[in-house]
Amino acid sequence: MTKRILVTGGAGFIGSNLVNYLQKKYPSYKIAVYDKLTYAGNIRNLDPLFFNNNSQYTFINACVSDREKLSSAIRNCDIVVHLASESHVSNSLAQADDFVNTNVFGTMVLCEEIVKFPVEKFILISSSEVYGTAEIKPMDETHPLNPASPYAGSKTGQDRIAFSYFYSFDIPLIILRPFNQFGSHQHIEKVIPKFITNLLNDKVIHVENKGTQTRDWLYVEDLCRAIDRTIHYKSNDLFGEAINIGSRREVSILEMAESICEILDKDAEKHIKYGRDRCGQIMSHIASIDKANKLLDWQPMIDIYSGLKKTIAWYHDNPSWYNSLRFPTLKITQTRGGN
């Protein structure tokens, strides 16, 4: 049966990977991408069919707070996957306006439109950043929400405002909380593509806090598989649930940097430099994915090292893509404590 799927933020990193995944696996599906095309959204991430007046694939260039355009888009879909988000931690430390406007207010507008024009499922892609640094390991969905940056605070607000609409209006909400993603088409402001592209150009890479902070890294294709399972889950049991999507493995930033050096045959001692910690830093993250395994019958299939090799190969083959990227111009003017 053909489904009509709306993907907000579909020209970004995770969004475009999801759209490309769905196109290949479900060629009969109708897919609409809704994206404001900020610096992190890139039309080059998408199939040209989205821009050729194709009846099966539609591109809508708009902000999620644009009620008129959002209303029109939702009326023509069965499933909404909400990925539109401001996501750069450092930028949120400099100026958080866009993070609150897009992540919280935009999600509220989307929820209001879904109340007016019901859909089969509303899948919100939240973030493990809502948890802050791990108080218990592994971190399950009952872990306290302790956001450590304005970005994380806005994702927590997004997560909870959506849940309030589930509670009040019974919208068909399912929240996925991915841990740290990596893969092709990720903006080089993020740590793994930054490391890769610097090393490809024989530049040094800078590791904060000696790289001791740990993350739960997941190759983006595994997240796409989890979203796919959520889209096609046939029971209503998932509505109102929050589900972690991670690898169950804790790896330090330094270990990741060293692995990238190894794959690229670079001298780690020569290319890795150390810098001071930044505000809003999370020191430890590792997911419990028992709930995802139980409810979605999902677990990761691509190990970190294999995912890294795939990711490095993509950046190696696409220098024109990352050399054409735009960057925001925000600058942090104040450190913790006002010093």
User: Range of 173's domain?
Assistant: 4-185+218-248+286-301
Helix then strand then coil, % of the chain, to nearest 5: 45, 15, 40
Better-scored residue on pLDDT, 258 or 338:
258
Contact 194, 206 (CB under 8 A): no
CATH number of 179's domain: 3.40.50.720
Kindly state whether residue 143 falls inside one of the protein's structural domains.
Answer: yes
SS3 at position 4: strand
Q: What is the pLDDT of residues 322-332, one digit of tens each?
A: 999 988 755 44
Task: Compute the average pLDDT of residues 97-101.
Answer: 86
Kindly state whether residue 195 falls inside one of the protein's structural domains.
Answer: no
Task: Compute the average pLDDT of residues 258-273.
Answer: 97
Is pLDDT above 90 for 141? Answer: yes
Q: What's the rounded Cα separation, in Å, for the pair 323 and 314? A: 14
Kindly state whether residue 142 falls inside one of the protein's structural domains.
Answer: yes
Kindly state whether residue 94 falls inside one of the protein's structural domains.
Answer: yes
Contact 228, 31 (CB under 8 A): no
Kindly state whether residue 261 falls inside one of the protein's structural domains.
Answer: no
Q: What is the pLDDT of residues 23-59, one digit of tens each?
A: 999 999 999 999 999 988 999 999 999 999 888 999 9
Kindly state whether residue 175 falls inside one of the protein's structural domains.
Answer: yes
From 174, 192, 175, select the one nearest 184 (Cα to Cα).
192
Burial class (CB in 10 A: 0-12, 13-18, 19+), 15: buried
Kindly state whether residue 325 falls inside one of the protein's structural domains.
Answer: no
Kindly state whether residue 107 falls inside one of the protein's structural domains.
Answer: yes
pTM as predicted: 0.94
> How many domains in the chain?
1
Q: What's the rounded Cα separation, in Å, for the pair 220 and 80? A: 19
